[in-house]
Amino acid sequence: MVIKDIDPTYTLGDQARRRQEILKRLEREGVIDQNKEWPWPLLPRRIALVSSPAAAGYQDFMRHLTDNEYGFTFYTALFPAVMQGEEAPRSIIQALDRIIDSGLPFDVVVIIRGGGAVADLQCFDEYNLCYYATQYPMPLLT
């Protein structure tokens, strides 16, 4: 038997295929690495956080910042957002807008989700959110 063609829908799954399509589109548009061009401070200490305050990931992140072995202090501000489901992309974009509108001098923005199933990540594979992230005017980590 010789395989001549494979439909990636069956090998990657719909979610992985969708993610690849978005990445390819952003690459074609020449924006995929645009956010990486922002300069980073040696030690980012002013951190804007986009998360749900109840997310396990948010609690873990804060614990690691507070309990760091070097005794560094960090200034953080939480900009709450829905992190799962259909409302998440719009809610995350709104939180990112609130960071800019705050006028506060953050070094970086970190988007933090909680634990959960892989299916809960679908909301992050949304073109408008991904494009917005490439255009964001400061370093953005996910």
Measured CA to CA, the distance from residue 51 to residue 48 in angstroms comes to 10
pLDDT of residue 121: 65
User: What mean pLDDT comes out for the span 43-48?
Assistant: 96
pLDDT in tens, 81-106: 998 888 999 999 999 999 999 999 99
Burial class (CB in 10 A: 0-12, 13-18, 19+), 100: middle
Measured CA to CA, the distance from residue 1 to residue 24 in angstroms comes to 32
User: What mean pLDDT comes out for the span 104-112?
Assistant: 96
pLDDT > 90? residue 25: yes
Residue identified by tokens 């997310």 is 55
Q: What is the pTM of this model?
A: 0.84
Q: What kind of fold does domain 8-37+44-141 have according to CATH?
A: Rossmann fold (3.40.50)
% of the chain surpassing 70 pLDDT: 86
State the pLDDT confidence band at 79, using cuts at 50, 70 and 90. very high
Q: What secondary structure does DSSP assign to 23-44, as a single string?
A: HHHHHHTT-TTGGGGS---SS-
